């Protein structure tokens, strides 16, 4: 290593997120499961929500169904819980690739026989309840058939909703609302559902005709109304929720259109700059890299990286150094934490280490790796550049010692610099953190 | 020279890669969507397929699924501009032996092709990070049905070093083991990533809608 080097770069200030910023964790919601589903996906979804095996939930429903409670509970959840296939806000690039069929479509498991058996079992249960509640075998078969019809129709409501989601064109009209994308299965479900209901009413009328026509007509009418409400209930409930989601999607797409316009504009600017700087490869590479980072984070970035998290802060720092020094900085994080007051020294030290590597190592690329454990966070900054002999760094050269090692030690952490000439440098930073700041990763 | 098929829906990119690889591997065919890719792979049975992740007709995963066991000598190396977790883990679980982004330099790509063709796995720092995330935490020893569901301490160390930007050679000297041993560990992690039904991994994948 020739000549003294200044290892410090303290001229810049860093905008650290203020301590009172915290990441709001969304409330955990229960969904009906699309994949783990025999009847309506209620048991599967509930199992995922509660963290127990779906088998036990199913047994619970099956057993309680015979007391009626389980059935009412199940039907209630079926109506109230949204399907879990509601499109999660993926990044625009991934969404576009999915729409154009460039990524694998979500798998659907076909368990038709299983579905039929399960539907049948629940229908028998409902009929049994009706039998017990109202007495008389006269009601058993009509009730059984009617319940079967209603369930088939509810399933169709689910299918139609799912097809609307997958379609993604956002059209919503009455036909699509009811039959989804159509197809034999949809119409068959509709026809058999309605048919079962009609048959149930007919049998009921025929059987009870012996007792008294007047009462039958009243009962039949009442049953018809109840049946209609039962049938339309889920559709109405979902119409409301779909409209809400459509509104949200519209807002989202407007925001994206704005960002897209901004990005396209910046791409144009960059292309212009590249043409002007065609003679300067370093400058061209730097421009291209900055633009690529912009586009990549917009297209494929984790939509979920919350502002104020360690990962976001590290990426911002890396981007800034890339722009200033023209060296690519790759950031990989495992686990994450909310950056509070006490994590700020870690960010400053990391930044210092990255800047040092960018300015002095001549490395083609800098790797930053952060791992959050319960109790502490570690950051590694690695370059494969020139390296130096740590023992030979003069005591008066305060860069590494003050801004990295001393800073970390002042805040209860530690820093270690490993380097040797020709082998590159790795700075390892460790800082204790409060467990409640941790937002993911190893538990 | 290794035989290679380039699968990508951008002709310009295919041309660029072909030029970059010229003289160092033999590009036997190009393909631009799932159907032509399957055709090309079955007809030429190349040693390595450079497979774009986003591909008309269902994506790169669809190519691997439909080729199935019909080209036993062929290995897939995913090459993508996306480094979203969904794509990376989905592609590996779909059968790819490695995942690199399109910004990879020519020599690095040749190296990755060579590595994949002899049966090794190619892990980028980002992929190693995803693996550590997916296999995070410890589970009760009694709950482990299979070794597939967790990383050994050694594998975890190797993954951490790769995530920190170490090359296999550097990992080897850091841990005082041979490069061959590092490769064995990485291949074993790849296998676990592909085959594990570990609850955390499937849930992690489910959360990200991979399965």
Q: Quick one: pLDDT at residue A194?
A: 81
Summarised one tens digit per residue, pLDDT across range A339-350 is 777 788 888 889
Indicate which of A34, A89, A99, A334 best probes the interface with B, i.e. most B CBs within 10 Å of its own CB. Answer: A334
Q: Do B82 and A88 touch (CB under 8 A)?
A: no
Of B149 and A15, which is predicted with more confidence? B149
Hey, is the C-beta of A137 within 8 angstroms of any chain B C-beta?
A: no
User: Rounded CA gap, A382 and A213, in Å?
Assistant: 87
Identity of the residue in A35, A104, A300 whose CB atom sits nearest the CB atom of B90: A104
Query: Per-residue pLDDT averaged across B35-51, rounded?
Result: 93
Distance from C-alpha of A80 to C-alpha of B143, rounded to nearest angstrom: 35
pLDDT in tens, A254-297: 777 777 777 777 788 788 888 888 888 888 888 888 888 878 77
Which residues partner with B122 through β-bridges? B98
Distance from CA of B20 to the nearest CA of A (A): 17
To test the contact with chain A by mutation, choose from B57, B65, B125, B164 the residue with the greatest count of A C-beta atoms within 10 A, namely B164
Residue A360, pLDDT above cutoff 80: yes
* Mean pLDDT for the stretch of residues A174-198: 74
> How far apart are alpha carbons B86 and B59 in whole angstroms?
12
**Contacts with A79 (C-beta within 8 Å, 6 or more apart), sequence order:** A233, A234, A237
Mean pLDDT of all residues belonging to chain B: 83
Residue count of chain B, please give it. 211
pLDDT of A214 > 70? The answer is no
Beta bridge partners of A225: none
Tell whether A53 is within 8 A of chain B (Cβ): no
> Nearest by CB to B58, which of A101, A367, A369?
A101
pLDDT (average), residues A293-306:
69
Cα B137 → chain centroid: 23
Tell which wins on pLDDT, A350 or B137. Answer: A350
In angstroms, how far is CA A356 from the centroid of its own chain? 37
**% of chain B beyond a pLDDT of 90:** 33
Cβ within 8 Å of residue A302, ≥6 positions away: A91, B84, B85
| Cβ contact A88–B209 (<8 Å) | yes
- What does the radius of gyration of chain A's CA atoms come to, in whole angstroms? 31
β pairing state of A414-420 and B48-52: unpaired
Contact between A410 and A386 under an 8 Å Cβ cutoff? The reply is: no
Our CA angle for A285, A291, A294, nearest 5°, is: 140
What is the C-alpha to C-alpha distance for residues A304 and A89, in angstroms, rounded to an integer?
9
Run of H or E including A129: helix A112-134
What is the CA angle A44-A45-A49, rounded to 5? 120
- Measured CA to CA, the distance from residue B149 to residue B159 in angstroms comes to 16
Query: Using CB atoms and an 8 Å cut-off, which of residues 86-115 of chain A contact chain B?
Result: 88, 90-91, 93-94, 97, 100-107
**List of residues 6+ apart from B50 with CB closer than 8 A:** B4, B5, B6, B7, B8, B17, B77, B79, B113
Substitution target from B54, B66, B140 for chain A, most A beta carbons within 10 A: B54
Position A398 scores a pLDDT of: 56
Long-range (24+ apart) CB contacts under 8 A made by B196-203 are: B196/B146, B196/B148, B196/B149, B197/B148, B197/B149, B198/B135, B198/B139, B198/B148, B198/B149, B198/B150, B199/B149, B200/B134, B200/B135, B200/B136, B200/B137, B200/B139, B201/B134, B201/B135, B201/B149
- Which residue of A lies nearest to B9 if distances are taken between CA atoms? A102
In this prediction, residue B75 carries a pLDDT of: 93
Interchain contact, B53 vs A103, CB within 8 Å: yes
Beta-carbon neighbour count of residue B115 at 10 Å? 21
For every residue of A43-100, DSSP letters joined together read HHHHHHHHTS-HHHHHHHHHHHHTTSHHHHHHHHHHHHSPBTTSPP---HHHHHHHHT
Asked whether the ipTM of the predicted complex exceeds the cut of 0.90, the reply is no
Q: Which residues of A touch B164 (CB under 8 A)?
A: 367, 369, 380, 382, 426
- Cα A327 to its chain centre, rounded Å, is 32
Whether residues A94 and B164 touch (CB distance < 8 A) is answered with no
pLDDT at A122 over 90: no
Compute the radius of gyration of chain B from its Cα atoms.
17
Per-residue buried b or exposed e for A378-404, using 16+ beta carbons within 10 Å of the residue's own CB: bbbbbbbbbbbeeeebeeeeebbbebb
Spell out which residues of chain B touch residue A387, defining contact as CB-CB under 8 Å.
Answer: none
A216 inside 8 A of chain B by CB: no
Bridge pairing between strands B48-52 and B3-7: parallel
Residue B80 has pLDDT above 80, yes or no: yes
Residue A336 contacts B, CB cutoff 8 Å? no
> Does A298 reach chain B within 8 Å, measured CB to CB?
no
How far apart, in Å, are the Cα atoms of B21 and each of A146, A325, A364, B110? 67, 30, 21, 7
Q: Which distant-in-sequence residues (6+ apart) come within 8 Å of A78 by Cβ? A: A32, A39, A40, A42, A154, A234
Q: Which phi and psi (to 5°) does residue B29 adopt? A: -165, 160
- Name the residue among A90, A332, A371 with its Cβ closest to that of B125: A332
Q: What is the pLDDT of residue A410?
A: 86
Give A378-404 pLDDT, tens digit per residue: 999 998 888 887 776 655 455 666 778
Cβ contact A419:A5 at 8 Å: no
């Amino acid at each position: 290593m020739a000549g003294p080097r200044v290892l410090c770069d303290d001229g810049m200030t860093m905008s650290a997120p203020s301590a009172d910023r915290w990441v709001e964790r969304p409330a955990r919601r229960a969904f009906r499961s699309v994949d783990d589903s025999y009847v309506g996906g209620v048991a599967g979804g509930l199992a995922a929500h509660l963290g127990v095996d779906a088998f036990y939930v199913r047994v619970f429903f099956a057993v309680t169904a015979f007391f009626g409670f389980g059935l009412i509970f199940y039907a209630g959840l079926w109506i109230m819980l949204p399907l879990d296939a509601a499109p999660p806000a993926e990044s625009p690039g991934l969404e576009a690739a999915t729409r154009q069929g460039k990524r694998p479509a979500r798998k659907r498991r076909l368990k038709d026989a299983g579905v039929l058996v399960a539907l049948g079992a629940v229908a028998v249960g409902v009929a049994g309840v009706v039998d017990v509640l109202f007495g008389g075998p006269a009601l058993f078969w009509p009730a059984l058939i009617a319940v079967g019809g209603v369930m088939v129709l509810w399933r169709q409501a689910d299918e139609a909703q799912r097809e609307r989601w997958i379609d993604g064109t956002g059209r919503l009209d009455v036909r699509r609302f009811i039959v989804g994308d159509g197809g034999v299965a949809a119409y068959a479900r509709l026809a058999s559902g309605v048919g079962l209901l009609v048959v149930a009413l007919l049998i009921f009328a025929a059987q009870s005709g012996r007792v008294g026509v007047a009462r039958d007509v009243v009962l039949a009418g009442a049953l018809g109304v109840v049946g209609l409400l039962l049938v339309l209930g889920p559709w109405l409930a979902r119409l409301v929720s779909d409209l809400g989601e459509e509104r949200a999607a519209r807002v989202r797409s407007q925001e994206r259109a704005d960002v897209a316009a901004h990005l396209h504009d910046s791409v144009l600017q960059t292309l212009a700059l590249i043409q002007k700087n065609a003679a300067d490869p370093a400058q061209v590479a730097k421009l291209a890299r900055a633009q690529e980072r912009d586009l990549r984070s917009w297209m494929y970035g984790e939509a979920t990286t919350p502002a104020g998290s360690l990962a976001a802060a590290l990426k911002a720092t890396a981007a800034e150094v890339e722009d200033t020094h023209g060296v690519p900085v790759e950031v990989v994080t495992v686990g994450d934490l909310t950056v509070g007051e006490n994590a700020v020294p870690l960010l400053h030290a990391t930044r210092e280490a990255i800047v040092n590597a960018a300015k002095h190592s001549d490395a083609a690329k800098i790797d930053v790796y952060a791992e959050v454990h319960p109790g502490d966070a570690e950051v590694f900054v690695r370059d494969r550049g020139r390296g130096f002999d740590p023992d030979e760094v003069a005591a008066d050269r305060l860069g590494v010692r003050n801004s990295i090692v001393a800073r970390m030690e002042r805040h209860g952490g530690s820093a270690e610099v490993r380097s040797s000439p020709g082998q590159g440098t790795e700075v390892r930073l460790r800082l204790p953190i409060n467990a409640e700041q941790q937002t993911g990763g190893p538990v | 020279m290794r035989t290679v098929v380039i699968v990508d829906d951008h002709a310009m990119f295919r041309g660029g890669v072909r030029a970059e690889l010229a003289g160092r591997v033999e590009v036997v065919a190009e393909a631009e969507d799932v159907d032509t890719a399957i055709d090309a792979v079955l007809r030429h049975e190349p040693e390595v397929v450079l497979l774009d992740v986003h591909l008309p007709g269902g994506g790169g995963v669809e190519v691997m699924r439909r080729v199935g066991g019909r080209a036993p000598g062929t290995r897939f190396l995913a090459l993508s501009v996306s480094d979203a977790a969904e794509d990376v883990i989905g592609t590996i679980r779909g059968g790819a032996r490695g995942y690199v982004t399109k910004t990879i330099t020519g020599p690095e790509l040749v190296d990755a092709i060579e590595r994949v063709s002899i049966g090794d796995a190619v892990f980028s720092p980002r992929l190693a990070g995803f693996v550590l995330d997916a296999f995070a935490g410890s589970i009760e020893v009694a709950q482990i049905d299979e070794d597939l569901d967790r990383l050994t301490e050694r594998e975890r160390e190797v993954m951490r070093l790769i995530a920190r930007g170490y090359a296999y050679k550097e990992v080897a000297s850091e841990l005082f083991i041979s490069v061959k041993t590092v490769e064995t560990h990485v291949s074993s992690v790849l296998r676990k990533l592909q085959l594990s039904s570990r609850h955390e991994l499937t849930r992690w994948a489910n959360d990200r809608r991979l399965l």
